[in-house]
Chains A and B, each alone.
Chain A
Amino acid sequence: MQAHAALEYDYSVAKLFTFTTILFGILGMIIGTLIAAQLAFPELNYLLGEYGTFSRLRPLHTNIVIFGFTLSGVFATFYYVAQRVLKVSMAESKFIMFISKLHFWLYFVGALIAVITLLLGYTQAKEYAQFEWPIDIVIVLVWVLWGVAMFGLIGIRREKALYISMWYYIACFLGIAMLYLFNNMSVPTYFASGGLGNILHSVSMYSGTNDALVQWWYGHNAVAFGFTVPIVAMIYYFLPKESGQAIYSYKLSLLSFWGLMFVYLWAGSHHLLWSTVPDWMQTMGSVFSIVLILPSWGSAINMLLTMKGEWNQLTENPLIKFMVLASTFYMLSTLEGPIQAIKSVNAIAHFTDWIPGHVHDGVLGWVVFMIMAALFHMAPRMFKREIYSKKMLEAQFWLQTVAVVLYFTSMWIAGITQGMMWRAVDEYGNLMYSFIDTVTVLHPYYAIRALSGVLYLIGFLMFAYNMYKTMTSSRELSEEPQFRSPMA
């Protein structure tokens, strides 16, 4: 991993995906903030007529931040990291270059079509798998192209041993491929009915309880292989590169990787506790969720210990701050999840705002922080300019940290309050609250959450501006920085 290798890496595709990361990030977070505000102030539902209600916009928010922002970030970092750890430049193969550009453009066009169809209400109504079948086919093609680029690069590599980050990128590729294919199995009704009705419509191959099982095997592990695995890939590369420290333990990374691969898939049924899914599956989901703490914390602790003896960097380099906080939020989130997967806790937590609270301390604190830090590290190397403003980076860090804390604390309180009120009974054993009582009581927490969304969004806009200035008008660098990213 010498930074002064003679190879001239080609970042054209990494740059393209960097742009879409920023674009979809802004879009996804604006919608997220809007729908958060709608729960506190319902009048905001009527800004766009039929297309602006909470219910119509919510899948748009989740899909844009997952398949728009996060996936773009994964691809951007992949096309940067893979060249470097495999010691091969994209410019060396015209074929890989072509495939990866096609990968980008098909992805971008597919994403735009997806946004439009979701706004119009075409949906399979499965969470994070809403896209109807033609878009699913585009996504599969995009994924295959990524696989060709990935294994193409691996095929012509000079460094024979795959670095840890590559393990995780490969796992991301395989995991999502398997999950996405099986969960989206459906029959287009137009073709099965001799040409009747809407061509976009389809019915799921699975029904009822089975459909729920497949969906949450997918839903939970889309988080695993989209929000955990590739983000771990990033931190394994960018933290050592930015800090100049070697990974603390190879054995710990082995244990964490193979442990995560084996355990994660079992845990999906914890989304279906107390449902009509057989008891033994629910119990398996609970048990494996607890076991999952081990490999998750294994990675996080490995990262924190990588900083051993160099903690002063935390005060000197804001990018280290982002990454260390990201691993800390990863630890928080992977402890919180298993707690919610305990059946008795789940009885209160499920269906409440504690769940979105949990999701967001993971994604806002871990995923977004890590992706932003990665792009900030990449920018001086891709654009050969120093980072535009350290001050802005510091301000952004604190603003967004406060935002995340406001988000999850308000949602913890909201969730537990509502969960307790649903089950509260008076002295005669009658339910104490009508449903609407348990909604109106949440107003202050919804307002705080909306505020946290605004703060986080402002922070993200600062990131976007800082990146823009870094690309266009920051001081030029004469040679590539070795470790710490230079910033003004």
Chain B
Amino acid sequence: MSERAVRARVTQEVAEVIATRRVGAYQHITLVAPGVAELARPGQFVALAVGGETSGTLLRRSFSIHKVSPSGTYGGTVEIVVSAVGVGTRWIVEREPHDTIDVVGPLGKAFPLPTEPVACVLVGGGYGSAPLFWLAGELRDRGCHVEMVLGAASEDKLFGVVEARRSCDGVTVTTDDGSAGQRGWVSDPLPEIIDRTGAGVVYGCGPMGMLESITRVAQAHGAVAQVAVEESMACGVGVCMTCVMPVVGSDGKTRMVRSCVEGPVFRGDRVRWDAFDGGHARVPDDAVGAPKVGGH
């Protein structure tokens, strides 16, 4: 790793795919990326280029880091979980062992860890659970009691149930259709778990609507919510200004902040959930520099 990468805590490397396998509705990919593996913390993400140097698909795709092994057999590796939903993610899941992918990372802010061994609840929606097992390990190393709630629309869209049972003190599964675990949403069992364990922190990763409800439940039961958002990004490194969302700063003012550099992890009670609606995030009227009448 270059001196600059160490200083900057981020690197760009051409990573070889060494393993790729289907897990339910998702593809679990292992990449040799020693620089990223050495620098990464749970909650951070990587941005992958699509289709090689002359590709017409220009924008990077971002994925939260599922796991790193800084000193594996192949050198440091980074694992991600991909849901193939468009041209970019389809190209990525079609890579075979020994193919290469250009990777930039680790990016964004990691999950903040409690200084005391408090109980924590980790909530993942779909493959949003990917970074939570690594986080669970770090929390248990600090003496925290860790429970996990995994939810999805149906059983095939759950990710990591077996791994959760291995890495946590308790696991609850929910599905919208009841095909696995209890029928319903992740927010349904959450109040009981927070109360029973006396959890101080609820970590969440998944779609916006789910993160909003986790935040509401955590607040009502005396816990702090730390949520990792999934905003669409063009660059992942902080220069394109497309992944912004309205967040309240320590001065009490709302700003449109970049989820790639100031996030992806935010304190749930700082996010202006009132501004999100049907895939849009509007600029709240009281945000710094908000458009005056007539718009920008």
- Tell whether A and B belong to one assembly: no
